[in-house]
Amino acid sequence: MHPLARGSVREAGVTQGKGWLLEVSELSVSYRARRRGRDVPAVDQVSIAVGADETVGLVGESGSGKTTISRAVLGLTQPSGGRVRFEGEDITRASRARRRALSRHLQVVFQDPYGSLSPTRTIGQTLAEPLAAHRLASPRQARDQVAAMLQRVGLPADAMSRFPGEFSGGQRQRVAIARALMPSPRLVICDEPVSALDLSVQAQVLNLLRGLQREYQLSYLFIAHNLAVVRHMSHRIVVLYHGRVMEQGPAAAVYAAPGHPYTRALLQAVPEADPELQAARRAAAAAAAATTGATAGAGARPSAAAAEPDTGAGCPFAGRCPYVIPDCRTARPPLVPAPGGTEVACIRAADIPAPDIPAPDIAAGGPARPRPLPSRNEVSP
């Protein structure tokens, strides 16, 4: 039996309610742009926190900084500012030896199920590797644990003698999940784990991840660009755009009453099969824009104010926002409470009426126990 399945292998610390398991404080990451000859920020002063047995979702379109945050947490990208703490320990610039030791408790499931597994190693060899690296089991014990884990993720025990090329994409992702759980981690970073899968397989993998979380008492940092998928998995959601936090709060509140225009644009971008519901969604967006003086819906052509040059000092969404005013470009908006129960980085949050956005079916059945929103004082500087 896998150690965490017994619920007996839990060291004292954050996992028993004494604080946050993961703290990311004012994290900034910049990359050198060759053509521009200067550093370009990919993540700009982002603070997030993940508690025990909790899923925090990071959502945003491509280029919003989601994967860069995960790479900084894993030590694959060097931050230019801020701190990363795991169980109270500052691991921002941890040594390679320390990172190797941390890999037992901090694992990742990558997006590509085809590129994340070595094609020359059997499934059994791949899953047994973390046990051998951390000296957690003898060869015979490792074989038994690999067989048990394969069965837990829905694969036959004899799959351990086969190679990744013999499996479908969904089966390979199950193998990747099994590999992440072999060393008994506390936190698993799921970086777009279902975006490369078919819809029917996506639902199966999402339900598998939720079941494993309950069984093994896991915490997830769940990354996706689809807000409906993130809602299905998460207790809290952080919405990112151009490396900044646009909105954060309990998943139900972010989904039911989004306060930031960008969050609303993400929700309106979720495909709706019913043409009547889609038409109602567009009409609601247009009505909301009309009541606030905006000249366009969240997904339509921006207003004249939005078309003004972006100086980089204000809100990064100003160039696309239908509710933009000149003040939006002059100073960085702080995170402030919104009427819907979230925190939004928008100076017009109180002026924008509540949206009427029908929820896609995939949102049904998501986690229903929201965690309290970490304030700046709770996330260590």
Is it the case that residue 207 has pLDDT exceeding 60? yes
**Tokens for 296?**
């366009």
Taking the alpha carbons of 5, 213, 208, 366 in that order, is the dihedral positive or negative? positive
Element (H, E) at 108: strand 106-109
pLDDT, tens only, 217-273? 999 999 998 888 888 899 999 999 999 999 999 999 998 889 999 998 888 877 777
Higher confidence at residue 106 or residue 305?
106
Burial of 2 (0-12, 13-18, 19+ CB in 10 A): middle
State the pairing for strand pair 89-90/81-86. antiparallel
pLDDT, tens only, 296-353? 444 444 444 444 444 567 899 998 888 888 889 888 899 999 888 899 999 988 887 7
Q: Report pLDDT for 371.
A: 44
Is it the case that residue 136 has pLDDT exceeding 90? yes
Residues 349, 328: Cα–Cα separation, whole Å: 12
Closest by CA to 117, choosing from 66, 71, 171, 154, is 171
Q: Report pLDDT for 301.
A: 40
Q: Report pLDDT for 88.
A: 93
Q: What is the DSSP string of 231-257?
A: HHH-SEEEEEETTEEEEEEEHHHHHHS
**Tokens for 196?**
């490369």
Residues 225, 220: Cα–Cα separation, whole Å: 16
Closest by CA to 50, choosing from 84, 91, 95, is 84
Quick count: other Cβ atoms within 10 Å of Cβ 103?
17
Show Cβ contacts of residue 10 under 8 Å, excluding neighbours closer than 6 positions.
16, 217
Question: Which domains occur in the chain, in start order?
Answer: 1-105+183-258+357-381 (3.40.50.300), 120-174 (no CATH), 259-340 (no CATH)
Taking the alpha carbons of 270, 274, 278, 281 in that order, is the dihedral positive or negative? negative
Higher confidence at residue 54 or residue 285?
54
Q: Report pLDDT for 381.
A: 42
Share of the chain above pLDDT 70, in %: 80
Closest by CA to 220, choosing from 211, 209, 231, 204, is 209
SS3 336: strand
Residue that the structure tokens 């921006």 belong to: 302
Residues 207, 78: Cα–Cα separation, whole Å: 33
Q: Report pLDDT for 164.
A: 94
287 near 265, Cβ under 8 Å?
Answer: no
* Choice among 203-207, 238-242, 287-291, 360-364 with the minimum mean pLDDT: 360-364
